[in-house]
Amino acid sequence: VGVTKHFAVRRRLRDRRRRVVHAVENVDLALYAGQVTAVIGESGSGKSTVARLLAQLYQPTSGEIRLRGKAVRAPGGRRLRAYVGQVQLILQDPFGSFNPVHTIAYHLGRVLRIHRPGQSSAQVEQAMADLLAEVRLTPAAQFTAKYPHELSGGQRQRISIARALAADPAVLLADEPVSMLDVSIRLGVLNLLARLVAERNLALLYITHDIASARYFADTATVMYAGQLVEGGPAETVTQRAAHPYTQLLIASAPDPDRDAAAPRPADKASPPSLIDPPAGCRFHPRCPFAMPKCSAEAPPRFDLGDGHWARCWLHEQAQPQQAQPQQAHP
């Protein structure tokens, strides 16, 4: 419906080193203009794969990715090229995404010239200054002549945001955008992203392992475990009234400044299961304190908990299973 971007990535089996890695399976995720959607998960949960699928760096094995309701077909083709401009990826490590031998002006100018062909140098320079002002790096002249290593981590991440904006995207995919930054400057970068979402009506996918930042920053939150989405809904609901035992575990093990540092934390040193041979039934059952016999036998569907909140867990069996996806009903 015009401003709505809907992505559905389904069943992806990836062959890596000749083993099939179930990196992401049957992931349905929708992003909306003017909204922040968080995907929360541990490392190895497949959350970065979701971002890379959406950025068309990987192709889904099956299923499709749609932009404004239209399937994006790859490889090649005009539709794909248009898509790549509209969907921009921001990575965790801004340093790794810049060529150290080139200045900031080079990096920004390159993208501006690709996406706005036929502009004069003066126009490109002006666009560059506008972008830097938008990410609050002023005066522009103080930054354009610099090399990536001459900037702080926070400044570099602001530059990589400016570079993403240079393509005038509709969608930003931010994979752990602040996790490598000093704690003291993380909030500033998140607030910048929040402001851009509002001002540019962007759809933002915020990938994080930090559930507290998702509560603060996202409109919608989705929790990922072992390549599957296990809970989702309004960020407030998911982070305050978590329905899935895994989400509850993430909340309980997150550092909480309000809690006594000496208070015991739930001991859970187990790591997510291998994605080569994921556990049968509910993938969380080997770690779940509530596991029942059924859990290892049968994979739970999504149960609808009302107001957009859902969980993939048998504890909510009395709730309504979510409507079968229309794509599954009509293959």
Among 156, 163, 285, 309, binds ligand SF4 (CB under 6 A): 285
Query: Cβ neighbours of residue 122 under 8 Å, at least 6 residues apart?
Result: none
CB of residue 331 vs Mg ion: minimum separation in angstroms? Answer: 31
Site for ligand SF4 contains 251 (CB under 6 A): no
- In the chain the first and final C-alpha atoms are separated, in Å, by 23
Measured distance CA(285)–CA(292) in Å, rounded: 8
**Out of Mg ion, ligand SF4, none, which partner does residue 243 contact, by CB within 5 to 8 A per kind?**
none
CB of 211 to Mg ion, least distance (A): 15
Closer residue to ligand SF4 in complex, CB, 197/221: 221
229 in Cβ contact with 238 (< 8 Å): no
What's the token pair of residue 148? Answer: 């990536």
Select the residue interacting with ligand SF4 from 135, 166, 172, 295 (CB under 6 A).
Answer: 295
- The yes or no reply on residue 208 touching Mg ion (CB under 5 A) is no
Strand ranges, E, within 131-227: 171-175, 203-208, 220-225
Interacting stretch for ligand SF4, rule CB under 6 A, among 56-64, 108-116, 201-209, 289-297? 289-297
Stretch of residues binding ligand SF4 (CB under 6 A), selected from 36-44, 143-151, 216-224, 310-318: 310-318
167 DSSP 8-state letter: T
CA-to-CA dists, residue 280 to 14, 83, 122, 260, 285, angstroms: 19, 36, 60, 38, 9
Any idea how long the chain is?
Answer: 331
Distance CA 39, CA 110 (A): 31
Binding ligand SF4 (rule: CB under 6 A), the pick from 109, 154, 272, 300 is 300
Which lies closer to ligand SF4 via its Cβ, residue 74 or residue 291?
Answer: 291
Closest CA to 238 of 291, 288, 177, 311: 311
| Distance (Å, whole) CA 43 – CA 223 | 12
Neighbours of 1 (CB within 10 A): 6
Decide which of ligand SF4, Mg ion, none touches 282; Cβ closer than 5 to 8 Å per partner kind: ligand SF4
At 133, list the tokens: 């002002």
Quick one: tokens of 24?
Answer: 């992401």
> To the nearest whole angstrom, how small is the minimum distance from the Cβ of residue 63 to ligand SF4?
23
From 177, 227, 245, 272, residue interacting with ligand SF4 (rule: CB under 6 A): 245
Tell me the H-state helices in 167-232.
Answer: 183-200, 211-217
**Which residue, 48 or 220, has its beta carbon nearer to Mg ion?**
48
From the list ligand SF4, Mg ion, none, partner contacted by residue 300 (C-beta under 5 to 8 A by kind): ligand SF4
Do the beta carbons of residue 40 and residue 214 sit within 8 Å?
yes
Q: Is 48 in the site for Mg ion (CB under 5 A)?
A: yes
The listed partner (ligand SF4, Mg ion, none) that binds 251, CB under 5 to 8 Å by sort, is none
Using the rule CB under 6 A, which residue among 33, 187, 194, 291 binds ligand SF4? 291
Quick one: which of 59, 259, 290, 297 contacts ligand SF4 (CB under 6 A)? 290
CB atoms within 10 A of CB 308: 12
Nearer to Mg ion, 27 or 105 (CB): 27
What is the binding site for ligand SF4 (CB under 6 A)?
244-245, 282, 284-285, 288, 290-292, 295, 300, 313-315
What is the binding site for Mg ion (CB under 5 A)?
48
